[in-house]
Structure 1
Amino acid sequence: FIMVLQHADTTEHESSYRHMMMTLQVVSASGLPFVVFNPNSDAGSEATSRAVTDFRRDHPLAPMGMIANLEGRLFLRLLRQARCLIGNSSVGIRECAFLGTPVVNLGDRQNGRERASNVRDSPWKPQAMAQALTYQLQQSYAGSQIYGSGHSGELMADIV
């Protein structure tokens, strides 16, 4: 399955509906089941959520699940099992790097953040998004410690 985790970009929140609709169309065209998580509450999130609701209404047979919120450990377990994450959340940059989950990072929201090899960036263009998703669905990545090993608390305690 594919995970969709997409937020409104505060610098272009007026495009939130169109961007989410593009993402859902590309993911649906893959033929794989997908799970869509609610966006954060930034400006434009209402339009992002409305796109999900509208897509679900217009495509009742799409193999699509929706999750409002999930406890951290369960979320990470789901993320580890996903074939790919697509969207523009920092989860794709940070947590997916550690887990080795393939990511299609959409748009500019995560510009300036260091990326591990599991991330493939795509502009908001359906053909580019579809190509990036197709590519990532064929990939397998080892986890990366680009953002740490998960033991920083212990290391700091040893220093103190």
Structure 2
Amino acid sequence: MSARRRIAVVTGSRADYGLLRGILARLRAAHDVALSVIGCGMHLVPRFGETWKIIEADGFPIAAKIDLALDDDRAETIARGTGIGVSGFAEALPKLAPDVLVVLGDRYEVLAASVAATLLNIPIAHIHGGEITAGAFDDAIRHAITKMACLHFVAAEPYRRRVIQMGEQPDFVFNVGAPGLDLADSTPTLTRAELFAKLGIGSPERFLLVTLHPTTAQPEADAANVTALLGALAYIEDRSFIFTGVNADPGYRAIDDAIRRFVAARPDRAHLFTSLGSERYWSALRLADAVVGNSSSGILEAPAVGVPTINIGDRQKGRLRAASIIDCPANSHLILASLRRIFEGRFQPDPAHVPPYGRGGASEAIAATLRKIELKRAFPKYFHDLAATLEPPGPAL
């Protein structure tokens, strides 16, 4: 019997864990895989709910915990924490000795893991590469991870072309769709009464699902975004607000403090949860009148269940859009007008429009490829040059 393939998976937040959960379940069930889960970043911080406990409650023991010392929201703390993360992963990875390290997305925790794995000569599989989020420094991090990875699982065909354009081998760039969409069908659906009972929420029963994160490439935009969002919500009196927690990015405290003040002033209608977990989040997503804020969930997952999104500001600028998304600048009047279009039934996206991120099945495709692919073909990798017609040089400067 051949040795089992050792696969290590990194998760740094409740958000990426939700996307990885289906992949983890399939790898755990595979007889030919030895799975290790590495928890880091927000999972370990009490302010963000110590969500590593949710991972273990789901039956995924954490093989290593990497604390990035995220004591505050200053940019220098995040930068220093990334370095601490590289050191932590450099210590943990040789002990786990994975055949391949799986990372998702574009956060600094994932960058730290990828840097350590590259220097340790460990092949990297990257999920959700090729995308653009022009309003966040995640953009540069995502593309940097692409250049360190040898296996790529992208969410749409334009993203596959972009990864290949960056010099990656076409045979190892797989368009599988967005793994988060698999949860749309597999996660149990709570009724409105069941959801509200689990959340401890009373009337009014209609609600908005709200998430706002820092715009890290434009930190000066954060104050305008949160002011505009909360200013618009303050005019709505016939709905509840379910806020989910802010990411641990530079500048998160000002956003978090403003939301907490808003919630405290409306205890009967506004509620803040550090983490809802998959079952409660997907149920809330399905039942909400709209998703509001600047989270990627409003771009990827909300369209899959037919819920409209009000996307505020530039954080998600550059991502493919479904017809159910309304982009709004940081302007309370425009946000409120967009919400009223939804409430009054005047926003009717074309039902024939196909969401750009697939219809599910990504988790199975990713897990199957990780199990079976011949890693020696993909790693070490070499640069893939595109055939191109050379253009004549421009005018001399």
Q: Secondary structure at the match of 2:209?
A: strand
Q: CA deviation at 1:34?
A: 0.9
Is contact 1:21-1:55 (8 Å) kept? Answer: no
In the TM superposition, residue 62 of structure 1 has moved relative to its aligned partner by 6.0
Sequence identity percentage: 27
Partner of 2:320: 114
Describe the shift of the 1:155–1:60 C-alpha distance in structure 2 as closer, same or farther (beyond 3 A).
closer
Where structure 2 has 5 or more consecutive residues not aligned to the other structure, the ranges are: 1-206, 374-397
Q: 1:104 is paired with a residue of what secondary structure?
A: strand
Residue 252 of structure 2 is matched in structure 1 by 45
Residues 101, 140 of structure 1: 8 Å contact kept: no
Inter-CA distance 65–118: structure 2 relative to 1 (3 Å threshold): same
2:307, 2:332 → 1: CA distance?
22
Query: Is the alpha carbon distance of 1:154 and 1:133 closer, same or farther for their aligned partners in structure 2, counting shifts above 3 Å?
Result: same
TM-score of the pair, normalised by structure 2: 0.37
Contact 1:37–1:67 under 8 Å retained in 2: yes
Is the 1:39–1:45 Cα contact (8 Å) retained in structure 2?
yes
- The CA RMSD measured in Å over matched residues stands at 2.4
Match status 1:35 vs 2:242: yes
Matched, 1:151 2:358: no
The alignment covers a number of residue pairs equal to: 159
Structure 1 position 2 matched with structure 2 position 212: no
Pick aligned residue for 1:104 from 310, 314, 318: 310
1 or 2 for the larger relative contact order (CA 8 Å, sep ≥6)?
A: 1
Per-residue deviation at 1:77? 1.3
TM-aligned CA distance change 1:18 to 1:62, over 3 Å: farther
Secondary structure, aligned partner of 2:304: helix
Q: CA–CA distance in 2 between the matches of 1:93 and 1:112?
A: 11
Q: Cα 1:122–1:37, aligned 2, differ >3 Å: closer, same or farther?
A: same
Displacement of 1:61: 5.5
* TM-score scaled by length of structure 1: 0.87
What secondary structure does 2:284 align onto?
helix
134-143 or 22-31, which deviates more: 134-143
Q: Closer, same or farther in 2 for the Cα pair 1:102/1:53, shift >3 Å?
A: same
The 8 Å contact of residues 263 and 271 in structure 2, kept in 1 or not, is answered as: no
CA 1:125 to 1:74, structure 2 compared with 1: closer, same or farther past 3 Å? same
Match of 1:73 among 263, 273, 279: 279
C-alpha separation in 2, matches of 1:124 and 1:94: 21
Q: Which amino acid aligns with 1:39?
A: V
The structure with the largest alpha-carbon Rg is: 2
1:47 CA drift (Å)? 0.7
> Aligned partners of 1:39, 1:150: CA distance in 2, in Å?
27
Give unpaired runs (5+ residues) of structure 1: none
Name the amino acid aligned to 2:361. Answer: H
2:210 and 2:293 in contact (8 A); partners too: yes
